[in-house]
Amino acid sequence: MSTTISEGLMQAKAHPGRIITWAVLLIGGLIMITPILFMFGTSFKDASQVYDMRLFPEYPTLDNYIQVLSDGRFLRWFGNSLGIATTVTLSNVFFDSLVGYTLAKFDFRGRYLIFLAILSTLMIPTEMLVIPWYLMASKLGWIDTYWGVMFPGMMTAFGTFLMKQFFETVPNDFLEAARIDGLNEFQIWWKIALPLVTPALSALAIFTFLGNWTAFFWPLIVTTSQEFYTLPVGLTSFAIEQSIQWEKIMTGAALATIPTLLVFLVLQRFIVRGIMLAGLKG
């Protein structure tokens, strides 16, 4: 074992390019993790220590957690966010992949045009879409409802594009074999094609969940009463009404990261490459 490590070091020495790569990655990693460490650190500080720039508090306390969790509103917002993000994620995983599969594997008139139309919506910034969304929601009575928060994201152009690209890599032989085995087209998608793109599906699920969990702008606009707030909107209102208590905000934010971490831990193991090739020639 020791020889392997020393050999590895020798190799690293032999490649200055590799040292630079590691250095860049390390610096990038530190830049990204520092605010998160400060967030966790601050959540264990009392108000008097907040502006003490030490990463870990001298006298750590759980008071913030007790206070935040005992405020009923926090749990309500947490539940809202969880429900909304989960529903939107499931919807995207289902509809994006169904549409992506259809665009990738069926030959029909106008297929390319439809794909272009879907893709072109990616060029419109969210800020511009908010106005028509709001008008739509207000005409249909969706303001201040869960559905109002969710509807713009139930299916996304990005997800459809991603899934289409992945389904294109699924060899047609699998689908044809299933067709001969007697499956109908929906069963072929569900039983054969979908399991072969689990890496893409997991990636889509992670992106969608994170995007909706952290979404702020649209939920802020479409909700007016506190009971429909999502966590990011709620935390902000929390901050404003309580004259910015950083330790409370950091505690709320720290609690808010837990589901995203869980989602990532559960789904990332599906992001393994190469599962598809196993059924074909070596």
Partner 1 sequence: MTEIQLEKITKKYGAIETIHGIDLTVKDGEFVVLVGPSGCGKSTTLRMIAGLEPITGGDLRIGGEVVNEHEPKERNIAMVFQNYAIYPHMSVRQNIGFGLYTAKMSKADKNKRIEETAEMLGLVELLDRKPSALSGGQRQRVAIGRAMVRNPVAFLFDEPLSNLDAQLRSQMRIEIKRLHQRLKSTIVYVTHDQVEAMTMADRIVIMRDGYILQSGSPTDLYENPSDIFTARFIGNPSMNMISAIATQNGLVAQNANAVLSVASPKVAVNSNVSVGVRSHALTVGEPTDKTGLTLNGEILVLEPLGSETLVHIDTADGVIIASAPALHQLAAGQTVSVTANVESLYFFDSDSQKALMRP
Q: Which residues would be at the binding site for partner 1 (CB under 8 A)? A: 171, 173-174, 176-183, 192, 195-196, 275-282
Give the nearer residue to partner 1 in terms of CB position, either 176 or 227. Answer: 176
Least distance CB 273 / partner 1 (angstroms): 13
Task: Tell me how far apart the alpha carbons of residues 260 and 62 are, in angstroms, rounded to a whole number.
Answer: 22
> In whole angstroms, how close is the CB of 225 to partner 1 at the nearest point?
46
Closest approach, Cβ 19 to partner 1, in A, equals: 36
**HSE of 252, CA atoms in CB hemisphere, 13 A:** 28
Nearer Cβ to partner 1, position 192 or 203? Answer: 192
**Closest CB to partner 1 among residues 15, 191:** 191
What's the closest the beta carbon of residue 194 comes to partner 1, in angstroms? 10
- Please provide the size of the chain in residues: 282
Nearer to partner 1, 197 or 249 (CB): 197
Helix runs in the chain, H state only: 2-14, 16-43, 63-70, 72-105, 111-120, 126-139, 146-150, 157-168, 172-180, 185-187, 194-196, 198-213, 217-222, 231-241, 246-268
CB of 281 to partner 1, least distance (A): 4
Nearer to partner 1 (CB atom), residue 73 or residue 179: 179
Three-state secondary structure along 46-104?
A: CHHHCCCCCCCCCCCCCHHHHHHHHCHHHHHHHHHHHHHHHHHHHHHHHHHHHHHHHHH
> Tell me, what DSSP letter sits at residue 152?
G
Which of residues 113 and 280 has its CB atom nearest to partner 1 in the complex?
Answer: 280
Residue 168 beta carbon to partner 1: minimum distance, rounded to whole angstroms = 17
Q: 175: helix, coil or strand?
A: helix
